[in-house]
Amino acid sequence: MAIAVALAAGPALAAPAVQDGHAGHAQYHAQATPAQPADAHAQHGHDTAATPVPPTGQRWATDAPLQDGMGRIRQAVTMLEHLEMGHVDPKQAPALADQIQGAVNDMIANCKLAPDADAALHGLLVKFIAGADAVRTGPVTLDELKPMQDALAQYPTQFDDPTWDVNPED
């Protein structure tokens, strides 16, 4: 679907090269259609192998939209874990995928982070976008959940979120 959005959008939404920096990136997000910001976002790509890391002993600052969005994603992934174990009705999977996608869309639209923190966040968001797409297209297995679980585990090591409990109760 993301490819279809990119092809349909044509040059009007052509993604800036990663080398264009955050200014080009912000301009790209301003051009993305509100209905599909995450799909469009996935097309402009970030080199996740070169994701910035905070200085030793520090974590990136967060804002309220990031904290809220990550909390919503965590809640949905936790429910998907229960679904994978057979404790939740599989008919809930599409709604949980939509919850993940909606949280990603909201973070893309509303987070105001420093450029390096933004780039680091994108390394996590691509895992949630791919995971939500995988949940929509097939049965929920550990294969779909593992990248999202890894991204959720990585989040508090990179971001200073005072609302994040590293050992939440289910």
Domain ranges within the chain, ordered by starting residue: 1-45, 48-170
Other C-beta atoms lying within 10 Å of the C-beta of residue 59: 17
Regarding pTM above 0.85, the answer is no
CA distances from 169 to 41, 74, 75, 83, 165 (A): 32, 12, 11, 17, 9
CA distances from 67 to 18, 94, 142 (A): 25, 23, 25
3-state helix, strand, coil in the chain (%, to 5): 70, 0, 30
Other C-beta atoms lying within 10 Å of the C-beta of residue 138: 11
Residue length, the chain? 170
Question: 48-170 has which fold?
Answer: Four Helix Bundle (Hemerythrin (Met), subunit A) (1.20.120)
Query: Which residue in 9, 69, 64 sits closest to 42, CA to CA?
Result: 9
Per residue of the chain (170 residues), give pLDDT as tens: 333 333 333 333 333 333 333 333 343 333 333 344 444 444 444 444 567 888 888 999 999 999 999 999 999 999 999 987 888 888 999 999 999 999 999 999 999 999 999 999 999 999 999 999 999 998 888 888 999 999 999 999 999 999 999 777 65
